[in-house]
Amino acid sequence: MRIGYGFDAHRLVEGRPLVLGGVDVPAPRGCLGHSDADALAHALCDALLGGAALGDLGTHFPSSDPQWKDADSILLLRVCAKMVHDAGYSIENVDATIVLQSPQLATFLTSIRERIADALGLPFGSVSVKAKTSEGMGYTGDGSGLAVHAVASLS
């Protein structure tokens, strides 16, 4: 059994969609980034790659490469899952926490989990996504950004 950990953070700006786990969340501001800036998908990619010691997202999909401009990060997640499988591992479960002051994500978590479960070929019950605020503290609390922590277990 192996554990992988991933982290991502993005700045929140007006005029960008807020995409989390492949789901468009209605919000006045979204994540700034080269791809669709799906911080949840990115943190999960790094957790999967980390569990298999395969490097990180930036190594495999460099933001300097125009091929990945506005990329669908769920596609990147599928590719990372395939890399993990090709290295001889199977994904047992993933768990993530999104740190964001607003909007509230509770009503979106089921569809986000379904989207990730589909991308990873996992049962719904093996994908956990949670949302927390940081009680107004720091960059996740003052609305300037969001952060995601994720872990994955591989066997």
Positions touching Mg ion (CB under 5 A) are 8, 42
Minimum CB separation of residue 102 from Mg ion in Å reads: 20
Contact of 120 with 85, CB cutoff 8 Å: no
Residue 8 or residue 116: which is nearer to Mg ion going by CB? 8
Minimum CB separation of residue 10 from Mg ion in Å reads: 6
- Closest CB to Mg ion belongs to which residue? 42
**Distances in Å between the alpha carbon of 122 and those of 12, 115, 125?**
30, 10, 8
Minimum CB separation of residue 100 from Mg ion in Å reads: 14
Residue 8 or residue 12: which is nearer to Mg ion going by CB? 8
DSSP structure class, residue 67: G
Residue 42 or residue 149: which is nearer to Mg ion going by CB? 42
**Distances in Å between the alpha carbon of 86 and those of 4, 51, 80, 94?**
16, 13, 10, 18
